[in-house]
Structure 1
């Protein structure tokens, strides 16, 4: 097996050690669980009334896959993770691990590894002692020192077993937390905002390495995150929550290219929103009973002059602003009815094709197929109480 890298730029490289698998009397590579959540409901009583945290959710998580639970605050993603972990008792519904009904199994009987944003390491224990903690609690019949050393090699922290958590960087501590979670050969790995406390560069490096490690070990993995880039980069499947329900689930490509609801389109990626009565919507002949229309900035086709041979109907607009955002140029276009939208281009695109001047007139076309009608209530993510 090839070595996997879990290095951060703020950390010194360790010795190059090839990880050859966790050795145990049991199978060396645990088979990931097939997790099925059926009609899952979790309600909480609050001073304001009944909070429907999870309100009838079905999710399938394939063995050895990585699934990201994504959604706004209060949408139900973390509650579902806690239900799968056994940290919450369902109001209704079932959870199946392979063919076993695990709904009422204790946390200890679920063979789960946890990684939290706060690392949850014992500061009075060394790195190696932290990794061995789960083995000691579960009294697993393996060489604890050897297992800790193998896991430190796996997460590229070989030789740091005698250090204490406070002597490590944030990225290193999160790798220790991952090693501890994997120590007892879990069949299911749960991560709750694992990189939220880290800076952007370290976060990106760690998620790349996490993907490699999870695949090498073969453990089914569920990650809760609010970071869309993280979810789409890591996961085989993304499940997007809103108001206790699953709005859409599928591969990252499916969700990005084929949003099924106005909420998904608004939540995933950037959008322009204009009134359904706007000149743009009318000239594009987009007819909807809804009050608003949305479309992606990259769906705008812009012309600097009117081509008499161009058969598409366009709408005149004025370049109201040009924002230089480094590698991205963002133009604000104002139509004659004072409705505005944004056009985003790479710097290279702008220099090659546009280089628009503020105040100049341009002509805009947006395909009706790229437009979606909606009412504000369709994209509301306020938790239901």
Structure 2
């Protein structure tokens, strides 16, 4: 029993220290403000893949075409990944010379579509988003400024979930807001490099130099974090996170628990391909601590010490609330903290179940296709 208590103590202290470091480096990360005199001089290509996005593609393209960026220096390259709905016809309804619509010719899936879009792109900088996102007017400038003025070779930026008055959607929005704080903290502290493919940018020259998405072809996703880790190997000091609401894109939260499960399983499927062992170690620590808390909570009914369980729950609550409170203030989403306590329990179950399921190869559905 002494070994069990020792393991719980080790995992608890590790989790507390990790969350404290996220809070510290998120607070230390300075907000990004555009120089009012900044005038972009580089041509950009906004690339995105779309499959069965008829509900969102119009609003997404409208927000892209409304960017406060010189029209002559901007293009949008949209690749339709064999959509089975009206996605392509809606996109073709836009009469704007900046928009180029291409049908995917070779392969299936997001990485194949993005590779074709990048090949057609004429811009020096590549900006990435998803076809279901809404983008603020200064988004393009916010992502280009660090590359053009500070020579950054990879730029990550926040993704937030839009939501309605349902617990599932609010819980996703709260969880992902915290993930954005962790993403910014990890990049700022240079000890965990994560990003989201719905909001990132890098020079096209880096894509060519690093042989694009080669080495991750077997995965449905990975165009974001796995490529970031490629860049980090060669340019570790030239990666940044844009901490700004003007750079934050919004995407809808999924509507059902089944869709949530599929989404998170897809995201976790690429974790085994990470080359950054520090990222793997941190994700593993969070999962192991969550498992220990889950098991010890059940063990209460079999005589396990309630003081240890209460101590673990108190630690998780304090650590998680500290990070989420700071993130909610910055992202102006304090109202999400009203569901903190039920979301805390849901988050534990989600980490344990999805983390455990990701250890075993399995098929999952994405955009009407089956992936492994």
* Fold match (TM-score > 0.5): no
TM range, smaller chain: under 0.3
Richer in helix (by share): 2
